[in-house]
Structure 1
Amino acid sequence: VTHSMKYILTGVSEVDSFPEYTAVGMVDDIPFVYFDSNIKRMIPKTEWIKENEGTDYWDRESQRESGWMSTFKNNIQIAMQRFNQTAGVHVFQKMYGCTWDEETGDVDGFDDFGYDGEDFITLDLKNLRYITTKQEALITQANWNKNKAFLEGKKQYRTQICIEWLKKYLQYGERTLKRQVSPQVSLLQKDSSSPVTCHATGFYPSGVTISWMENGQDHHEDVELGELVPNEDGTFQKSSTLRVTPDEWKKNQYSCVVEHQGETKEEKEIRTN
């Protein structure tokens, strides 16, 4: 089992209805801490972090995010200049963190930056350098890559510090984070000429595979896989949609196969919704 911890930081310009800076911390895709520029405090999103950490932790986390908040304000300004933009809504994002394989002990880390929904610059941890395909990020890339101490710091955080915290959080939230809940699977269709959707919901952890079979053979054509979506209760849902004509559906035997934590479920009957 591979576990992960990541923080997603988002800065936006010129949007009144949305905080100009937000940060979400996640363990195994479950949000456990949250900060934004309106509340100006890091707050707990799960019981296990609330129960296990005290004032020092929340002060330290809030302070760090306040630092990021002003950095992001600056980053948006710099990015706008580089892309020759003077005004308008712009989004600057950073996603960083680490993964740890419980069985092998392998660790990995990431530091990805995005601007206006596109990749801006990203850390290649194996070769310890930042890579980019964007002309506008070349100055940043050159500055970061020549600073060896900066790069070593990135490596140390991702391969040691982040991993230590991840293991600590997994211990805190063991009851919830290490539980296993099987998905409920259903085939849904609005009417006979609509696509058929295979919907898996209520499962934990988040790793799931949804595939289609036609007459006992793997079927990959006209299939659209949906995004993984969190449910309110900390479980997940995901769907896959198959486009077939009513005629093809009648003539052939289609089924949806959902694999989760070594368990397989197959569904052939459509429930109309």
Structure 2
Amino acid sequence: NQLHGCLSIMKFIIFFIHVPFVYSEFHTYITSYTGINGHTIPEFSAVTTLDGRQIDYYDSEIKKLIPRQDWMKEFASTDIYMWKEDTEIRVRVQQIYKNNIHVLIQRFNQSHGVHTYQRMYGCGWDDETGASEGFDQHGYDGEDYVALDVKQLRYITPVQQGVITMNKWNNDTAQLEFLKQYYQHECVNWLKHFLPLRKVDLERRGSLSFRNLLRSKKLLPNEDGTFQKTSTIIIGPDEWEKNQFVCVVEHKGRTFRKILTEDEIKSNNSKFNSFVNFFIIFIPVHNSECKMCIWECNSFQLCIIFILT
């Protein structure tokens, strides 16, 4: 389902690059937090992407927000105060996520071990129709925990352990109003603000992220304890004959690239279009009453922290 697919994106972000410029009419601006207990390093990481491409990164080891694109470096240098504030947001989230994982371990009646708590939030905007949408999802150990239905402005949960959290947040009108304003206005405004900055940088380099993931299957377990995920992109013959495609996978601050050959792009699915399937295997890292923390800020990130107590 949609929520499961979105939560899967927390673990891997896949996008494609090719030359020359390709027009993209639907844009996304997404931030994801991942907290991990145990002796894993780093125990917390945060990533923000624009149209599937990482624009900043933070983790509990480096303890500072790092711009990942040249244009983002320029943006960070023009407003040092805001960049510092966004770093502080992640520091606060890092501390709170340690507590959240401890609470969820008790709520799910689990023994100590490696567990993950994740949140992914952001918005999408169609620059042709002007339509926009927001999303905000919390996950635990790779499964849906609580999610915000932005249109209905109500939280939902697929698990019994999330009912207390859901009810608590649904009764917090101040929090809901804050999120409503963010997803209807602020998130999209920042997305629109960043697009021209990225465009200038792309025109300088002569390439663009080609984000056309049409099919993305859910995570499936393997017998050896790893997981797999398959994503499919449709590429027209005029595109693969004239351009070089590179599959790029970003995971926990590391980037993996693979240049796709013509044989890999071609398939027998259609005589008009080619389907490229990417089979990815990765190792898993393995409510409670909730409070909310909001402080006054002018950040380009969502100034809100969810605390499980």
TM normalised by structure 1 equals: 0.70
Matched, 1:143 2:143: no
- Contact 1:93 1:115 (8 Å CA) reproduced: yes
Tell me the SS of whatever aligns to 1:104: coil
Q: How far apart are the structure 1 equivalents of 2:187 and 2:48?
A: 12
Q: How far apart are the structure 2 equivalents of 1:110 and 1:177?
A: 27
Matched, 1:255 2:268: yes
Closer, same or farther: CA 9–266 of 1 in aligned 2, 3 Å: closer
How far off is 1:60 after superposition? 1.1
Q: How far apart are the structure 2 equivalents of 1:175 and 1:76?
A: 41
How far off is 1:86 after superposition? 3.2
Match of 2:177 among 139, 152, 165: 152
Deviations 1:223-242 (A, max 9, x none): x9536852689999899xx9
How far off is 1:256 after superposition? 4.2
Matched, 1:230 2:248: yes
1:194 — aligned with what?
Answer: none
2:298 — aligned with what?
Answer: none
How far off is 1:79 after superposition? 0.6
Higher relative contact order (CA 8 A, sep 6+): 2
Deviations 1:111-139 (A, max 9, x none): 11110010001110111000001111111
Aligned-pair identity (%): 36
Deviations 1:10-67 (A, max 9, x none): 0000033x21100000000000000001111111111110012222232011011111
Letter in 2 for 1:44: P
1:86 — aligned with what?
Answer: 111
2:62 — aligned with what?
Answer: 39
Matched, 1:204 2:209: yes
- Contact 2:134 2:183 (8 Å CA) reproduced: yes
Match of 2:38 among 2, 5, 14: 14
**Root mean square deviation of aligned Cα:** 3.2
Tell me the SS of whatever aligns to 1:226: strand
Aligned positions, number: 215
Runs of 5+ unmatched residues, structure 1:
182-202, 211-223, 243-253, 259-263, 268-273
Deviations 1:69-95 (A, max 9, x none): 112111101111101123100000000
Letter in 2 for 1:53: A
Any residues of structure 2 matched to 1:1-273 within 5 Å, and which?
Answer: 1-16=25-40, 18-54=41-77, 55-175=80-200, 204-209=209-214, 225-226=230-231, 230=248, 255-257=268-270, 265-266=273-274
Closer, same or farther: CA 74–266 of 1 in aligned 2, 3 Å: closer
Deviations 1:83-108 (A, max 9, x none): 11231000000000011110111111
Tell me the SS of whatever aligns to 2:169: helix
Q: How far apart are the structure 2 equivalents of 1:142 and 1:75?
A: 17
**Structure (1 or 2) with the larger CA radius of gyration:** 1
